[in-house]
Amino acid sequence: MAGASFFAELRKRKVLQAAAIYGAIAWGVTEIVVTVVEQLFLPQWISTLAVIGFVVGFPVAMFLSWTFDLTSEGIQRTAISSRRGTASIALSITLLVAGTAGLFLLIKPSIQETERGPAAPEVMPNSIAVLPFENTGQDPDDAYLSEGLSDELRDQLSRVSGMRVAARSSSVAAREQRMDALAISTKLRVANLVEGSVRRQGNTLRISVQLIEGKSGLSLWSETFSRGPRELLTMQEMIAEHIAMEVFPDGGPIVVKPATSNASANELLLLARHYEQQVLDRVTTSRLRAGSQPTRRRAVVPG
């Protein structure tokens, strides 16, 4: 029978053993390549190339296993032990090609998924991240004004109906990592970004603010305000209203008023929040350092 002759040729030529060894080696090497690529942040196409190489090399290895045999006298061509040997060779080559094509079609979706990379996270609609404002003045003690203004804007916008505002910690971390607008928008999943600067020049506060579209990095709205320090509340309200109008162009919700309408109380509030945040940052840093240190156990001396 042709089937019996075919399997007899497979056993004689040790094709099945060669396929098992080839599969084990291919699997092991692929796992090593994938691990190295991930750990060294190499391009993903290296892993894809390794998989394709083993798939293409499979019929070649099987053909060589069928045609040649490794003996004590070296590599020799395997003799055909059946009258139907020629038909068996043709049938085996056909099966190898068909099996390889099926295997390639099976792993093709995963290869394409690897090439495309992970899907970009969905950006939430009507979302915004208020990045920490910069203190561009000459006095570093005025930092509480820039930090406080961004915090107050974040709180005020978060109380606007329908507005989604990224957390302060996420916005600060994104700014500290010096990421661009697109990277921040993708990481925080927000559609818009607010950034700005505050400078005190004598009795004048100069506030520059921009509303940026995250996906393009283009400015949607920008303006510079120059007012007295006691008009900081007025400028904060104007900035919040402009942002709400840009996010909700079809007539958005009413912007909630600031926490206080007293200019002196507002400046003291900004200063208090500045010192409070410094304390919180120190406590967090201390806890992180304490958690990273190994716990020391007191040695027990036998009495």
- Residue ending a domain, among 95, 116, 137, is 116
Report how far residue 237's alpha carbon sits from residue 259's, in angstroms, rounded to the nearest whole number.
11
What's the confidence (pLDDT) of residue 296? Answer: 47
Regarding whether 162 and 53 lie in a shared domain, the answer is no
Regarding whether 165 and 82 lie in a shared domain, the answer is no
Regarding whether 276 and 131 lie in a shared domain, the answer is yes
Regarding whether 138 and 276 lie in a shared domain, the answer is yes
Regarding whether 141 and 95 lie in a shared domain, the answer is no
Taking a C-beta distance cutoff of 8 angstroms, is the pair 9, 88 a contact? yes
Residue 302 lies in a domain: no
Distance of CA 50 to the CA centre of its chain: 24
Total domains in the chain come to 2
Report how far residue 99's alpha carbon sits from residue 102's, in angstroms, rounded to the nearest whole number.
5
Regarding whether 178 and 90 lie in a shared domain, the answer is no
What is the span of the domain harbouring residue 164? 127-282
Compute CA distances 257 → 152, 153, 159, 211, whole Å: 11, 11, 9, 20
Residue 223 lies in a domain: yes
Residue 294 lies in a domain: no
Taking a C-beta distance cutoff of 8 angstroms, is the pair 78, 12 a contact? yes
Would you list the DSSP string of 261-273? Answer: --HHHHHHHHHHH
For CA atoms 164, 170, 172, 176, the dihedral sign is: negative
What's the confidence (pLDDT) of residue 74? Answer: 55
DSSP-derived secondary structure letter, 250: T
Q: Is 82 in a helix, a strand, or coil?
A: coil
Residue 42 lies in a domain: yes
pLDDT by residue for the chain (303 residues), tens digit each? 455 566 666 666 677 787 788 888 888 888 898 888 887 778 777 877 787 777 777 777 777 776 776 555 655 566 655 555 556 556 666 766 776 676 667 666 665 665 555 555 688 888 999 999 999 987 888 888 888 888 889 988 988 888 899 998 889 888 888 888 888 998 899 999 999 999 988 888 899 999 999 888 899 999 999 988 788 888 888 898 889 888 888 765 566 677 666 767 777 777 777 777 777 767 665 665 565 555 444 444 444
Regarding whether 60 and 154 lie in a shared domain, the answer is no
What's the confidence (pLDDT) of residue 94? Answer: 72
